[in-house]
């Protein structure tokens, strides 16, 4: 799993293009920076020093390493991928960069991996179409968020584009939103700076606590019971006014 697909139709068991080295070259190509805008993407995540974050479908660490710099040495980034070769590449990139707060996690077939700690941001870039059941995985990922955490989905618009996967592998913005709703999530923010992709921030739908809702109802009931005396007082004033005319 990774962040992009060249236009080819032969895929391996991880649904990555069969020519791994060519695929890896595409993922890390300098040309990608012009349209993926990785630094802008990470900036939009608003990560803070000390944050815990996760990149799902991390590929060779293209964004995970940038996220690690954003959270600093006191923060941590979990980089999840289903392809063992990508996990090996991330390990090499970590060694080459000298960054030691990225933690690769291999996702096993049949049970998508989760970050071991609660995260303020979970990022999924160009990988949503890999999930056999998007809503189920989103629901599980939401369970690993902090109280103010969010899941960020970045993926290609479902139309002909000069980059990205073939049309049969794309998932539309509407499709992601529908899966998010099934998972109990809602779009809380959308950004539009990417030329070929949508950028959606998702957060759990907040349901008022039963006690708070009951308290509000009781308050409304009390207000309703107090209203008749006010109406009687107004009626008395009107009758007094008429009697003085």
- And the tokens for 204? 């759990």
CA-to-CA dists, residue 150 to 5, 27, 109, angstroms = 26, 25, 25
| Predicted structure pTM score | 0.80
Instruction: Summarize pLDDT for 18-60 with one digit per residue, the tens.
Output: 778 887 888 889 999 999 999 999 999 999 999 999 999 999 9
CATH of the structural domain 20-204, one choice from 3.90.1150.10, 3.30.390.50, 3.40.50.150, 2.40.160.20 = 3.40.50.150
Instruction: Summarize pLDDT for 198-234 with one digit per residue, the tens.
Output: 999 999 998 776 766 555 555 555 554 554 545 544 5
Helix (H/G/I), strand (E/B), else coil: 36: helix
Instruction: Summarize pLDDT for 124-179 with one digit per residue, the tens.
Output: 999 998 898 999 999 999 999 999 999 999 999 999 999 998 888 899 999 999 99
pLDDT at 8: 47
Q: CA-based angle 84:13:63, to the nearest 5? A: 50
């Amino acid at each position: 799993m990774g962040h992009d697909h060249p236009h080819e139709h032969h895929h391996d068991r991880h649904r990555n293009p069969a020519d791994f080295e060519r695929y890896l070259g595409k993922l890390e190509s300098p040309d990608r920076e012009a349209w993926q805008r990785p630094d802008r993407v990470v900036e939009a995540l608003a990560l803070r020093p000390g944050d815990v974050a996760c990149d799902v479908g991390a590929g060779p660490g293209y964004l995970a390493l940038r996220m690690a710099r954003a959270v600093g040495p006191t923060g941590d980034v979990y980089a999840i991928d289903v392809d063992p070769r990508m996990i090996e590449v991330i390990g090499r990139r970590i060694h080459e960069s000298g960054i030691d707060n990225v933690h690769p996690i291999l996702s096993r077939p049949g049970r998508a991996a989760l970050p071991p700690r609660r995260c303020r941001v979970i990022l999924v870039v160009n990988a949503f179409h890999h999930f056999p059941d998007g809503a189920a995985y989103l629901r599980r990922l939401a369970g690993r968020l902090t109280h103010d955490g969010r899941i960020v989905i970045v993926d290609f618009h479902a139309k002909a584009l000069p980059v990205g996967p073939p049309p049969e592998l794309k998932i539309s913005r509407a499709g992601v939103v529908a899966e998010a709703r099934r998972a109990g999530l809602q779009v809380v923010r959308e950004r539009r700076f990417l030329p070929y992709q949508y950028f959606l921030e998702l957060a759990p739908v907040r349901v008022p606590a039963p006690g708070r809702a009951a308290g509000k109802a009781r308050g409304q009931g009390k207000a309703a019971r107090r209203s008749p005396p006010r109406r009687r007082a107004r009626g008395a004033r009107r009758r007094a006014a008429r009697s003085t005319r």
